[in-house]
Chain A
Amino acid sequence: MSGADPDGDPETDTADVPGDDGTDEPTAMIRPEWRSDLLLIVKVVLATYVGFFLVGVLSGAGVNATVGTIQSITYFGAIFALGALALNLHWGYTGMFNIGIAGFMAIGAYTMSIAVASPDGTPAGFGLPIPVGVVLGMVAAGIAGLVLVIPTLRVRADYFAIVTLGFSEIVRLSVQSRSLRQIGDTAYGTGGGQGIRATPVDSVVGWLFDQPIVGAVGDVLILLGEAVGIASSVLERGIYTLVLILFVIAFYVLLTRIAHSPFGRVLKAIREDELAAKSLGKRTDRAKIAAFAVGCALMGLVGTLWMGSRTHISPDHFMPLITFYVFVALIVGGAGSNTGSVLGGFVFAAVIFEGPRFVRTMVRANLGTDFPRTAYGAFAELGAGDPAALIGYVLYQQADEVRYIVLGVVLVLLMIKRPDGLLGHRKEIAAGVDLRRRGAVADGGRSAEDDGPAGTDGGADDE
């Protein structure tokens, strides 16, 4: 058992206060879990930034490109962290193997787009404000999840996976089809293969800056930025990324609360042995439905955020590949661990998502762009004694393809060597309080509200 990571009490990281339950158990001396987790995440993130920066600058890719890559990593890292957290609820905790993530993301994103698009556009929308659209997207995705899970409760695990994949494809094909392009005689529709033009999500930032109070702060920031040489558009993008990070924190808090609770216990029990849980009286069907619907709603939100600064949404943005990205992110971090999800999302974005593109930039910086366009040409050059052409061909022209190859290889290696992922060996105990502590029960009902994000019992009272 990995005793290293206890459910610590955030308030009692004082080594010198023994619990007044009569014992001086060492638990009082161990640092609380959420703080060490945060530290871990920060360390990894900083290390990655520094790493990329050094590599980028030293290899001649240029400061600009490197900074751009770092920002992309942060952006996508946040998105994949969000996706992995939601998937963790389904799979890491409840054991429901959901490979239809892309479909729920699509539902969220499309609902938002339709809600937000202008009534004069083609296809038409309802012209609602963005935050409303986002909420509607979540609700729609959650409802879709309900509709899917309720009849399929008894379907066994691997078939359920394929059902979710089928559902995801049904969604994608539906929004892509010409028939739903316009619904009936109305101007509304899904835009078929061409998609919908919608206001980009991160225009929320611009809107915020127009508001009275926040706007003032925004103006100051913009001025500062200009003084340093950063354009306001870049600043806005950076702030959007910050918004994403806030979302990550919110998701993390929510999911950790769920995990460290009786509800989370039931979910875990379902994953371990549903029949045993049922035989103890647990209403597993209800728990599964709730967990699934909430997870899907979160995925809908991720879908919306994924659209980011795009002005245009189309079914191609939601291929099953997206689902596998999120899966890899979760597996890398370790299924079952919320911290792992965050880490995994970030590592995935850095190494697999942006990595090959960054390599491409480096290649371009060092070897130029004049490479053969076909494998045939590349091999011909190799035959003529010039390996650079082949390297260039693979790493530059085919950078996207290389990304998928890396993805595939990483997946395989993970499954063979380390199916637990980075943090999977860490099992987070599903309880609201530190189970190792014992003490008086009647403690006057101290409110546990000033807990840290882990939501564990602030134990200063009875411990």
Chain B
Amino acid sequence: MGVGNTGGTVSELIDETRKRLSSGRELFALLIVLGIAVLLLDLVRRIATGELAFGRLWRYTWNGLVDSLYIALAAIGLSMTYSILRFANFSHGDLVTTGAFSGWAVAWVVGGWGVYSVGELVLFSPTAAGPTGGELGMNVLASPVAILIGLAAAAALTVAVALAIDRLVYRRMRDAGGIPLLIASVGVALALRYLIAVFWTVESHSATASAPILEDVPPWLPFERVNLHELTLVVTAVGLIVGLHLLLQYTKLGTAMRAMADNKDLALITGIPTERVIFATWTIGAGLAGVAGYLIVLDRGQFSINIGWFLLLLIFAAVILGGIGSIYGALVGSLVIGLTINVSLVWIPADLNEIAAFTLMILILIVKPDGLLGGVETA
């Protein structure tokens, strides 16, 4: 940087340093990087001294990876709607919930067909007359067909709901700004969630049988036992993500979507049919979200109407971290969030781990207001 040649070089130097530092963001960024470095070093220390069993760290990391997978499924959808429809969709979490409820209702109906009444099945045994998940054999080994059909139903029904909502609400607001759409989506979220509650109540439900565990694991794998439900989640999620990548990169639709994400007006001018792209966005985004909801229940067992809403902020954190509109960014962001929630357990108790993720998100936004990988302006 060319410092002036007139007198007062020293004062100019001082001015310059002040300007550099007063760009507090650079200082902040430095602090964050230092902080993370310190934590990593501490991690190494703990392993070395035996304070932290490697097995435990591995378990945290593995859980982090699994969590980041289902966060990713939901985050991708959110990132897509964010960039193509230009607003922060606060009802996305409730699409996850929709997937969970609709998918498992179908799975139950298939699994208990003929034996129990449809009403009991759909509502997950509201009275004592109905079965439990265990009685129905709701695990991947005992009723793979039911579970598979449920998975497909979760995706299909969630897509249907999302398209209906788009037709009813968002389509009338295509030209509204990001904030009115955001607010409308909050309304949609509430209405959807509590509509589900009218039927299924706010209580929590249990839909699955206990997960079958595989004990005969080949010795070259780092696990001793494999939880088959978890495995299903991982395989399905990874498969879908890879499929999406292929779609985006190698199909005309995918290219159109990427183009639209970058600039809607440009896409209009060049003749890419936007309503069709929007349709595709909802289909893929809501489908993935529905599947995410379904899989979470498969893995966790218990769920309530709030399952998606509680995840929503984490999903937002992932999307923002990775940068709006970037599918790959959403993946990276999900990874960061998933790992943060879990690995932070090394240092902090379980009921504070989400705080760690939110704090990280806020810190990164302070330093990089456009997200880690940049993104698209909406508001």
Contact = CB atoms under 8 A, between A and B. Distances in A.
Direct A–B contact present (CB less than 8 angstroms): yes
Interface string B18-36: 0000001100100000000
Contacts of A161: 88, 182
A345 to B, nearest CB: 17
Interface in B134-170: 169
Interface string A371-413: 0011111011000000000000010001001101101111110
B179 A97 contact: yes
Nearest to A165: B313
A373 B188 CA distance: 26
B262 interface: no
A289 to B, nearest CB: 14
Contacts of A401: 194, 197-198, 202
B184 interface: yes
B369 A405 contact: no
Interface residues of B, number: 59
B361 interface: yes
B184 A416 contact: yes
Contacts of B362: 152, 163, 166-167
A151 B28 contact: yes
B176 A419 contact: yes
Contacts of A97: 179
B191 A158 contact: no
Interface stretch (A108-116, A124-132, A168-176): A168-176
A155 B361 CA distance: 12
Interface residues of A, number: 49
B352 interface: yes
A380 B320 contact: no
Given A178-B351, A376-B126, A152 B366 contact: yes
Contacts of A394: 198
Contact of B352 (A155, A177, A405): A177
Contacts of A416: 169, 172-173, 184
Given A405-B195, A416-B173, A375 B184 contact: no
A402 B24 CA distance: 48
A258 B133 CA distance: 60
Contacts of B198: 375, 394, 398, 401-402, 405
Interface in B322-370: 348-349, 351-352, 354-355, 358-359, 361-362, 365-366, 369-370
B365 A163 contact: yes
A319 to B, nearest CB: 10
Contacts of B366: 151-152, 155
A159 to B, nearest CB: 6
B182 A159 contact: no
A365 interface: no
A426 to B, nearest CB: 19
A156 interface: yes
B120 A170 contact: no
A169 B357 CA distance: 11
A163 B88 CA distance: 13
Contacts of A73: none
A104 interface: no
Nearest to B87: A158
Contacts of B88: 158, 161-162
A415 B194 CA distance: 20
Q: Which 10 A-B pairs rank lowest in CB-CB distance, beginning with the nearest?
A: A411-B187, A408-B191, A408-B190, A374-B126, A412-B187, A415-B184, A404-B194, A158-B379, A166-B358, A376-B119
Interface of A: 97, 151-152, 154-159, 161-163, 165-167, 169-170, 173-174, 176-179, 324, 327, 331, 373-377, 379-380, 394, 398, 401-402, 404-405, 407-412, 414-416, 419
Given A405-B198, A412-B191, A415-B180, 17 more contacts: A152-B362, A161-B88, A162-B316, A163-B362, A165-B316, A174-B352, A177-B352, A179-B348, A179-B351, A324-B186, A377-B126, A404-B190, A404-B194, A410-B187, A416-B172, A419-B176, A419-B180
